[in-house]
Amino acid sequence: MVNVPKQGDILLLNAAPRAGHEQTGKRPYIVLSHNIVAANSNVVIVAPITTTKRVYPLYVAIPKELGMKTTGKVMLDQLTTIDYEARECLFLEKANDVLVIELLKKVRAVFQKNS
């Protein structure tokens, strides 16, 4: 039985196969979807975490001051839905609530209606 991921969980998973500019390979992902999504299905919405040096408005750095083991930037333009029962998911840590709140505020920009 797979543990049900919760919002703010950082998971190590392999999102392959992917294509084009999509992040692939084994890497950490943070769960952004509300717990009700996983409670009613076997999927969660996640964003990959990368070590890129690139600066982009939808890349959110994980501040060292939060005391997390996971480092890098959360890529909010690479949201994906995963079936956590079908993929190997390894729980790494729970993200600091300050980070989760910031990510949820910024990810809203992805879904704003164009003017």
Global pTM reads 0.89
Burial label, 98 (beta-carbon count in 10 A; 0-12, 13-18, 19+): exposed
Which range, of 16-20, 47-51, 65-69, averages the lowest pLDDT? 16-20
Task: List pLDDT tens digits, range 81-115.
Answer: 999 888 888 999 999 999 999 999 999 988 888 88
Residues 6 or more apart whose CB falls under 8 angstroms from that of 9 comprise: 30, 31, 91, 93, 94, 95
Residue linked to tokens 């950082």:
10
Task: List pLDDT tens digits, range 1-15.
Answer: 468 999 999 999 886
Burial label, 32 (beta-carbon count in 10 A; 0-12, 13-18, 19+): buried
Domains of the chain: 9-111 (2.30.30.110)
